[in-house]
Amino acid sequence: MGTSRNMVSFDWAIKRLLRNKANFKVLEGFLSELLHRKIIIKNICESEGNQSDKKNKSNRVDILVEADGRELVIIELQFSGQDDYFQRMLYGVSKSISEHLQKGEPYSKVRKVYSVNIVYFDLGEGDDYVYHGTTVFTGMHTNLELKLNAKQQQLYRTDCIGDLYPEYYIIKVGKFNDVAEDTLDEWIYYLKNNQINDDFTAQGIDAARIILAYEKLSAEDKLEHDRMLEENRNRESEILTAFSDGEFKGRAEGEVERTQLKADLKAKDDQLKESIRKIICNLSASDMDMKQIAQCTNLPIEEVQRFMI
């Protein structure tokens, strides 16, 4: 593998560089590799994540792209863990659909939406680093996929119902092993390492080398970029520290609970043994012999003898 060049981080690039129309080719290249077809960006819409305010401490970074064919693409980055992130993905898609359907328009005008989620935490359980989710309707009795009829195929120019529904992509950056086996991996390598190797050939990667080169930033932008990276590192450190503290506290509390449980079990065991001893002593006082007591208590004679000592 060839030498690598230091690039600005993708989240900073989205906030400061990639919304400029002259730089669309970078996002176009990334999306083309991910969606496996040529993507041309017509416009980048404003969304709540498109903020360049220096005081914005949120780790949420998203951008809403309008592509040819009236398609919408949400690109979202998330650094810290969020248990309800899957619902947030759904909400973001639903909001984009409703906001881009004009009042009075027929449902056939609902936009196709792609939700691209670049997450730097371990979302869900799974060992892959790229996941793709679609909508499919399958017959419960025939197990066959539901199709569009001829009239609907003409209306939507597709025979696949899933093409009408949102599609979700999840890139789990931390799961990537830094081995770029294809052109999409080259982009994921950059997302993880803020570096682009000289031998990378993915779509848009040449433009990224020029536009996202760290050394070409102004002194002010370098300071702002480095400040944001430091904030991200501090945030990650705080999360790891909180997790470590919580894990340590959990182990300590668990040890206390186990000790208490053992004490409770021993007390109950001692109480049971004392009850059995009293029963055996009472039976013995009633002139029962050892064999009769063993039969009454369903205990071996050796056990009866131990209780009578």
Contacting residues for 269 by C-beta, under 8 A, at least 6 apart: none
CB 159 within 8 A of CB 147: yes
Contacting residues for 237 by C-beta, under 8 A, at least 6 apart: none
- Residue 194: which of 219, 213, 175 has the closest Cα? 213
- pLDDT at position 57 is 39
CB 88 within 8 A of CB 99: no
Contacting residues for 189 by C-beta, under 8 A, at least 6 apart: 176, 178, 180, 195, 196, 197, 200
H or E, element range at 88 = helix 85-99
Q: How many CA atoms lie within 13 A of 249 on its CB side?
A: 6
Structure tokens given for 167: 């599609």
Contacting residues for 96 by C-beta, under 8 A, at least 6 apart: 64, 72, 74, 111, 113
CB 275 within 8 A of CB 299: no
Gap between the Cα atoms of 137 and 123, Å rounded: 26
Q: Provide the β-strand partners of residue 74.
A: 64, 115
Structure tokens given for 221: 């932008």
Burial group, residue 131, by CB count within 10 angstroms (0-12, 13-18, 19+): middle
CB 88 within 8 A of CB 130: no
R_g of the chain computed on alpha carbons: 32
Structure tokens given for 56: 């914005």
- pLDDT at position 121 is 87
First to last CA, the chain: 81
CB atoms under 10 Å from CB of 55, counted, come to 5
CB 36 within 8 A of CB 22: no
H or E, element range at 61 = strand 61-67
- pLDDT at position 236 is 64
Q: How many CA atoms lie within 13 A of 123 on its CB side?
A: 24
pLDDT tens per residue across all 309 residues of the chain: 567 778 898 988 888 888 888 999 999 999 999 999 999 999 888 655 444 444 443 445 588 999 877 899 999 998 877 889 999 999 999 999 999 988 888 988 899 999 999 998 889 899 999 999 999 999 999 999 999 999 999 988 898 999 999 999 999 999 999 999 999 999 999 999 999 999 999 999 999 999 988 887 778 777 777 777 777 666 666 666 665 566 656 666 777 787 888 888 888 877 877 788 788 788 778 878 778 877 777 778 877 777 776
